[in-house]
Every structure is written in C-alpha cells, then in structure tokens.
Amino acid sequence: MEHNLKNMKTEALEEIKECLDNGYSGIYCELHNEVFNTGYYIIGTEAAKQALREFDVFDAIEKVMEYEKDNFGEVNTEIYNPEKLVNMLFYVIGEEVIAEIKSIDDPWNEYADEETNKKIIAEINVLLEKFN
C-alpha cells in the first residue's frame, strides 16, 4: 500500500498546486473543498476498480471507514461502489496532504493571494521532491 499511497499523495499535491497556480482566491480553509470536493478523481467503474486494486481495496475500505467514523460517527460512503470509494479515498488523502503543508497554517482563515500561493507552491514542490 505504501507505494500507492505515495502515488495518491503526489497526485493530491499536484492537484493543490494546479489550483493555486490557476489563481485560487478563496479562503485557504476552503482549499481542500475546492480541490477535492468539486470534481471527481476517477470516473468509470473499471478505472476505479483498477485504482483500488493498486491501492489495495481492503486498505482503501479501512481508511475511508475509519475517517468517516471519526468525523461523522458513521460510514456514509457506499463502499461497494468502486467510484464512490476511490473518490472518497482521494478526498481523505487530500485532507492528509493539506495538513502536511505547514505554510498554509498561518493564513488558514484568510483569502488567498498570489504571494501566499507562491509560498505554498514552493513548499508543495519540496514535498513532491520527497516522494520522488
């Protein structure tokens, strides 16, 4: 699982970086929602099944169920639906990588600006180097 978790974290960081590069101007505490809750990571049952096989479907189920129980008190994701499961998995991993970006902590409740976006992108680049 570690290799594929690393791949998904890399993809999540790249998605955040792209959003900031494209001039994100919302509040930083809403960045996770903007990146991971306004679109889909994977569309299509076969593609979702393949991604889950690569990650390990049981590890994915465990990670999503644990996250939802901790945050919502119950599991809401239809874990038998590959698309919903893999997209929720990416959402959870997105939250984890946002937490790793320390330069986002201070301006957390502020609107994004170009200078801060550049600082966050620089930190993301350092994190991406770790994964390569």
Say how far apart CA 82 and CA 102 lie, in whole Å.
Answer: 32
Task: Report pLDDT for 132.
Answer: 74
In Å, how far are 61, 92, 99, 129 from 66, measured between CA atoms? 8, 10, 17, 29
Which residue from 13, 14, 5, 17 is spatially nearest to 89, judged by alpha carbons?
A: 5
Q: Taking the complete model, does pTM exceed 0.85, yes or no?
A: yes
Task: Report pLDDT for 20.
Answer: 98
Domain boundaries, the chain: 2-131
Task: Report pLDDT for 96.
Answer: 96
Task: Report pLDDT for 12.
Answer: 97
Cβ atoms of 75 and 62 closer than 8 Å: no
Mind giving me the DSSP string for 104-126?
A: GSTTTTSB--HHHHHHHHHHHHH
pLDDT in single tens digits along all 132 residues of the chain: 455 889 999 999 999 999 999 999 999 999 999 999 999 999 999 999 999 999 999 999 999 999 999 999 999 999 999 999 999 999 999 999 999 999 999 999 999 999 999 999 999 999 999 877
Cβ atoms of 67 and 61 closer than 8 Å: no
Which residue from 10, 86, 71 is spatially nearest to 41, judged by alpha carbons?
A: 86
